[in-house]
Amino acid sequence: MVSYLARRMSRPRVVAIVLALAAILVVSLLPTWRAEAATPAATPAGTAAGLIPTLPGRVLLLGRITPHLQQLSVADLAAKYPQHTQTVTFQSGAGPQTHTYTGPTLYDVLQAAKPTFRSDVKNDALRYAAVIHASDGYESVLSWGEIDPGFAGTEALLAVTQDGVSLAKEGPRLTAPGDTKGGRYVSGVTAVTLVRAGL
Residues that bind Mo ion (CB under 5 A): 92, 182
* DSSP-assigned letters across all residues of 103-141: E-BHHHHHHHT-B---TTSTTGGGGEEEEEEETTS-EEE
- Which residue minimizes CB distance to ligand MTE? 182
Query: Which residues lie below 8 Å from residue 2, measured CB to CB, with a gap of 6+?
Result: 14, 18
- Does residue 162 sit in helix, strand or coil? strand
- Which of 47, 111, 126, 136: binder of ligand MTE (CB under 6 A)? 136
Of Mo ion, ligand MTE, none, which one sits near residue 138, judging by CB under 5 to 8 A according to partner kind? Answer: ligand MTE
- Count CB atoms within 10 A of the CB of residue 155: 16
Q: Is 185 in the site for ligand MTE (CB under 6 A)?
A: yes
Tell me which of 44, 50, 149, 183 binds ligand MTE, using CB under 6 A. 183
81 contact partners, CB below 8 Å, separation of at least 6: 104, 105, 108, 109, 112
Quote the least distance from Cβ 107 to ligand MTE, whole Å: 20
Choose the binding region for ligand MTE from 20-28, 59-67, 72-80, 130-138 (rule: CB under 6 A). 130-138
Binding site for ligand MTE (CB under 6 A): 92-94, 134, 136, 138, 182-183, 185-188
